[in-house]
Structure 1
Amino acid sequence: MGFKRHATAHWEGDLKSGQGRMSTPQSGLFEGTRYSFNTRFGEEKGTNPEELLAAAHAGCYSMALSFMLQNAGFTASRIDTKAEVLMETSPGPHAVGVHLTVTASIPGIDAAGFADIATNAKENCVISRALGIPVTMDAKLV
């Protein structure tokens, strides 16, 4: 059985001086959160699509790693994932990759076993598979 998730966006004005609002009505995580040219390409406070993509990827990867560890008989004490969406601006803004930085504490696993499972999770998490751009990773067992 499948399922759907959704978010909404509203925009007013031109690209550089306009602004919009994004919402996640299903979860209620944010309602009418501001985004604009300057929150996306500058340093103005607010969100942007790339930040939300990074958050989705970090969360998805952490859950995929936990699941794959469980299937191998391990339970993580902690998994911390940072996802960085790598952008280029020419010939127009586009994502060229994502880099995951992962640290995990997993009782009883060795470094080689962790590396194999971490790589499998990177290659098979839903967001990694959906992106169609390279995903690189540094994973460290602590």
Structure 2
Amino acid sequence: MTAYDNNNVFAKILRGEFPCYKVYENEHVLAFLDIMPRAPGHTLVIPKAPARNILDINEEDYLHVARATRIIARAAKTAFNADGVTIQQFNEAAGGQVVFHLHVHVMPRQEGIALLPPASRREDVKVLEDHADKLISALKGL
């Protein structure tokens, strides 16, 4: 297996070298908006532990990611009045992984509205700020 790259974009976000639209954080995980969302409120949940993907993360660190994913999914459903939520996680290039730091996609969904293609457009800053505020407010209600 390929070694973890400490210079991947999510590692840089964790170190504060790149900005993000943070919606949730604890000592084990960080959740922030995808800047090229496939749906309004598309959020990424990542471990703070250096893990390339699900194939190399230790079980305890993965459980923290799973718990945070559930928290974000519930908040996203509320914040965006969603009919459902899509959860996706990819492993290695052949599995569709692009950034090699474990991350889980949480996408609130509306009935009859398809997801945008991956990385198809960068969202407007004001929209991202509004979506972050909605998620943060919904998280306070959980």
Higher strand content, 1 or 2: 1
Larger radius of gyration: 1
Same structural fold, with TM-score higher than 0.5 when normalized by the shorter chain: no
Larger RCO (alpha carbons 8 Å, 6+ apart)? 2
What is the TM-score when the length of structure 1 is the normalising length? Answer: 0.30
